[in-house]
Amino acid sequence: MHKIYSMAFSRVYPLYIAKVERKGRTQAELDQVICWLTGFSADELQALIDSDATFTEFFDRARMNENAGLITGVICGMRVEEIEDPLMQKIRYMDKIVDELAKGRAMEKILRT
> Distance (Å, rounded) from C-alpha 39 to C-alpha 64?
6
Domain limits, the chain: 3-106
- Per DSSP, the three-state class of 75 is strand
pLDDT over 80 at 1, yes or no: no
Select from 1.10.3720.10, 3.40.50.800, 1.10.8.290, 2.60.40.1120 the CATH code of 3-106.
Answer: 1.10.8.290
Distances (CA, A) of 49 to 31, 55, 91: 12, 10, 15
**Gap between the Cα atoms of 65 and 15, Å rounded:** 23
| pLDDT per residue as tens digits for the range 39-61 | 999 999 999 999 999 999 999 99
66 Cβ contact list (under 8 Å, min separation 6): none
pTM of the model: 0.94
